[in-house]
Structure 1
Amino acid sequence: MRRWMVMATAALFAWAPSAAVAQTAAPDPVQALKKQFRAERGVDFTEISRSGSGEVRVRRHGQVQLGTGGPLAAYITGWNVHNDDRLNNVEPEARLIVADDTYYLAGESLPEGKNWMGLKYGEKLKIEPESLITEQTINVFDPAVLKVTMKGATAKPVSGGFFYRGDVTYAELSKVAKSYYAADQEGVTSKKNAKIKIEWRLWTDGNGLIKRLTAKTISVKGAVLERVDTRYSDWGRWQIIPPPAADEVIDWEDAQNLPRDLPDPNAIDLGATP
């Protein structure tokens, strides 16, 4: 009788799924991202970035409009916060719109009726539009970049979703998105700086959509160059971001002739006062 019970118990264990098999596999964040590429849909984000010294923090809040191929437009508000509590030094906000292959920066001291300066980034600003949206080195809006970043990372179940961590080099990122990373100021194309590493942590919801990404950029010598913490919300929300009205925009070249200093379009700091 005891032998029969042992055999029956063994049979039950043989047929029962293992804990690993029974557990629901984590959704693929890359595939979850691709499903968000729909017309008139978007996502919101908030972000804090710090330089290696941490003396100045740049805060951003933005909305990104997506299309079938990725980001189409964005509206960003940002400001610098200096780490001097005695001065409470918070610079005025800067506003930015990226739409229709044009970079629009809200400006002061413009001619009456003009509220924005416009620059075609395909002509004067040799960078990809997504790089104007965020300070994150890892472009989470590019499925190829997200895939190479997360290669080999294991999902860990956490409250509300999953957690991943790992690191990736500029060389690996540049290989799958050369045009995006070629303009990076850290020098992606050089052999030396290509070894610069980004240590990252990523949280997703239960459907695999990114909720938060933190990244720390580390130099070849081990120095921390930058820290960025970005949180994403309302994936799939209805979103349309139109460019400013044409009669409110002055061309960047024309604005250069005005009696005021303008920021260098090739060294944009969203936190800086225009």
Structure 2
Amino acid sequence: MRRMIATVACAGAAALMAPTIAAPAYAQTRAADPVSALAKQFKVKRGVHMTSATKMSVAGMPGFKSRTEGDVQFGRSGIVASDLTTRNDFGNLFEDDEDLQGLNEPMRTITINKTAYVSGGIFGDIIPSDKTWLRVPTGASATSLGGDQFVNVFNARSLRAVLATTKAKGNGGTLDGTRTTVYRGSITLKQLAASSPAMKKQLADLDAKSGKTVLNWKLWVGADQLVRRVTTAVTFTIKSKKMSIDMDLTGDTKFTKWGSKVSITAPPASEVATSADIDGSVPEVPTIITPGMMAAKS
């Protein structure tokens, strides 16, 4: 079982984050529309603070948990940068792998447009002693933030598609100093993949069966229509040889200090190493398997 969990967790680095999907016939509750409110937040050197926690279990056994916290910076048309620190906990799954020493140590990532700078964590021992950061072209911009939850509040198309599947709403209590309404619903992975080009890419390996997997979600929206919290839960089956194992994945992200001053800059060039400065190859960081990766292996 330990080998199975390790295989799942080490499936590779997950992708960092179409027309709006119409609401199903059963959706009688009108959903919120925080997309317009988000657009009003797009001002130079303004942003939001986010905290995200993710957990994965396989056959009821803990397999992975992660916590990410930091700031997201906006420009006039959207996200331009982020500064996030992630603390992973793979337990002792990779204790025998010398290339993955430091995996459970905090890792800070600064993303400017489509370039990321990483420090600490799995990269702590491979970055030259006279440098602090490693520059890594990500191929994905900071606007792809969303991580492993699959509900990206910064992706307008995907967010509208999710809210279109609203089934109920209620009093969400007070979060970040404002009263909120909590919206609940569920969306299939096939619907989610069709919601935006970014999600289509992330879930490109979905087959017909996996596409029917349901993601349950909740969104807490303030009176100002800004999202204060989002939670997700999904269970899907991993098939290996004659075994069939359920994997549960949950996420909880909170957003605070909307409109606060945020100014993120790249590290000084003198402190940044490139892959050419590394002795050997740059290791891939194990992370939670995405449904698309799962479908490719089932």
Q: State the TM-score, normalizing by the size of structure 2.
A: 0.68
Q: Given the superposition, is the C-alpha separation of residues 268 and 130 from structure 1 closer, same or farther in structure 2, using an over 3 Å criterion?
A: farther
- 1:154-165 equivalences in 2 (<5 Å): 154-159=168-173, 160-165=179-184
Name the SS of the counterpart of 1:240 in structure 2: coil
Q: Given the superposition, is the C-alpha separation of residues 255 and 192 from structure 1 closer, same or farther in structure 2, using an over 3 Å criterion?
A: farther
Structure 1 position 188, deviation (Å): 4.8
CA distance in 2, matches of 1:71, 1:175: 22
Which one of the candidate residues 62, 65, 83 is aligned to 1:57?
65
- 1:178-193 equivalences in 2 (<5 Å): 178-184=197-203, 187-193=204-210
Query: Could you say which residue in structure 2 is the equivalent of 1:68?
Result: 76
- 1:122-271 equivalences in 2 (<5 Å): 122=139, 127=140, 129-131=142-144, 134-153=147-166, 154-159=168-173, 160-184=179-203, 187-219=204-236, 223-252=246-275, 254-256=276-278, 258=279, 262-264=282-284, 269=287
Structure 1 position 211, deviation (Å): 1.0
Structure 1 position 171, deviation (Å): 1.9
Which one of the candidate residues 35, 44, 48 is aligned to 2:53?
48
Structure 1 position 72, deviation (Å): 1.3
Question: Does 2:115 match 1:102?
Answer: yes
Q: In structure 1, list runs of 5 or more residues that go unmatched.
A: 1-24, 85-89
Query: Could you say which residue in structure 2 is the equivalent of 1:8?
Result: none
Name the SS of the counterpart of 1:217 in structure 2: strand
Structure 1 position 58, deviation (Å): 0.5
Q: Given the superposition, is the C-alpha separation of residues 51 and 71 from structure 1 closer, same or farther in structure 2, using an over 3 Å criterion?
A: same
Which amino acid in the other structure matches residue 157 of structure 1?
N
Q: Given the superposition, is the C-alpha separation of residues 199 and 179 from structure 1 closer, same or farther in structure 2, using an over 3 Å criterion?
A: same
CA distance in 2, matches of 1:133, 1:105: 18
Between 1 and 2, higher relative CO (CA 8 Å, sep ≥ 6) is seen in 2
Structure index of larger Rg: 1
CA distance in 1, matches of 2:141, 2:188: 19
Q: Given the superposition, is the C-alpha separation of residues 201 and 188 from structure 1 closer, same or farther in structure 2, using an over 3 Å criterion?
A: farther
Q: CA RMSD in A?
A: 2.9
CA distance in 2, matches of 1:60, 1:121: 18
Structure 1 position 130, deviation (Å): 4.2
Structure 1 position 217, deviation (Å): 1.9
CA distance in 2, matches of 1:145, 1:133: 11
CA distance in 1, matches of 2:47, 2:209: 37
The number of residues matched between the two structures is: 231
Question: Does 2:96 match 1:77?
Answer: no
CA distance in 2, matches of 1:68, 1:194: 36
Which amino acid in the other structure matches residue 195 of structure 2?
V
Name the SS of the counterpart of 2:192 in structure 1: helix
Q: Given the superposition, is the C-alpha separation of residues 47 and 74 from structure 1 closer, same or farther in structure 2, using an over 3 Å criterion?
A: same
Query: Could you say which residue in structure 1 is the equivalent of 2:39?
Result: 34
Structure 1 position 83, deviation (Å): 6.9
CA distance in 2, matches of 1:75, 1:183: 22
Q: State the TM-score, normalizing by the size of structure 1.
A: 0.73
Structure 1 position 137, deviation (Å): 1.0
Name the SS of the counterpart of 1:207 in structure 2: coil
Q: Given the superposition, is the C-alpha separation of residues 128 and 173 from structure 1 closer, same or farther in structure 2, using an over 3 Å criterion?
A: farther
Name the SS of the counterpart of 1:48 in structure 2: strand
- For residues 49-97 of structure 1, what are the alpha-carbon distances to aligned partners after superposition, in whole Å with 9 as ceiling and x for unaligned? 011333321111111112233221111111123679xxxxx93211111
